[in-house]
Structure 1
């Protein structure tokens, strides 16, 4: 790391003098924000001019520096590291269920910090981050591990996708199990449903009562019209006087 971290060493050396000047000028040490700003200034001030170098030439230089520093080629260094590693590649079915449950719990916890609802792909992406430290044998084993963690995580969630309202009887299905009401050879991709945490028994449920919708074609009556309508209803109940017409003056506003 020392061989390939020359730039960081240069910045740290200059920062020592800058911090000394800050103490002398302010009589205190810089806080976290001030340290970050000072480091940015030092980085820009000590940045060398850039020279465009092909990647192949850079790889050759880096290999030569690593060989000169360690006395071994990069291939020999990689082989030595792999021999010293005690981690054995595993298959997805070799990982015990308690470990899968713990990974699923951590995955859902991380997803809930970013989203209120999520899809299967959101959970699988977080499962990939949670399981990246586990070494598996093949890419297929990695996918199988992600599927196990995702299924376990979604098992503790509540699906928001509406169920299929129609169930096709066996009589109307094709030999491959598809419905006869769909076009033959047409691939239908189901939509990915959303998920949310399952509510606990102690969580109060929100009220579902809503204000009744206004009937189509209805309108809000103005005060004079409302007065006429109420007066007419009272006359109908007593049956003593005829209903006043819409042109007659209102008893209260006439």
Structure 2
């Protein structure tokens, strides 16, 4: 197993605006390539780090269609180090254009639900010890019908460790326990709209991308033809229809 999630991909009507929001939210820097905006930690690679075991970048790409009223089935949870930090981060995000979102979470939960300037949901978490070493992105959270089954797929797809798997939630992370978590939450109802937020996976340098795609198909993934043409990545869906890509390894 030689794949790992290296970046989060977000579709946007205005990639530059959304990219600026996420760069400010995470304390990262931006770069552009064509119409896409890339966000990565300051001082590091401007694209996914080929040596990193976990998410190390965000790619915001143009889309001709805006987000619908349907909640994204993938969102980011942001980590904080104290209650004061959480309060400061929420205020800063609202100044940057984030808006409060009511997903039925009630008033007693310790996290805050917001949406970025184009409506993509995110959560600002209260400080939690488990996310002490994640960096600003605590977790990539995916809604699903069967967390145990999804854990079997993603546990087989990635060189990550399944930390927990129940009927309601499955949690995966890099083998050393650091970096962003992947969390699979049981949510009623199937996927109904295309994903606006998805994961990009990458083999380590020197590995065979074609062989990895074949292995994913054997695990239950489906290859997608979205009219992408001759590109250095492969579009797939996991067994519940969540889109993701396998990128060519960086040298």
Higher gyration radius (CA): 1
Question: Which one has the bigger strand percentage?
Answer: 2
Q: Same fold (TM over 0.5)?
A: no
Query: TM class, shorter-chain normalised?
Result: under 0.3
Q: What is the TM-score of this pair, normalised by structure 1?
A: 0.16
TM-score (norm: length of structure 2): 0.17
Structure with bigger RCO (C-alpha 8 Å, 6+ apart): 2
- Kindly indicate which of the two structures has a greater share of residues assigned to helix: 1
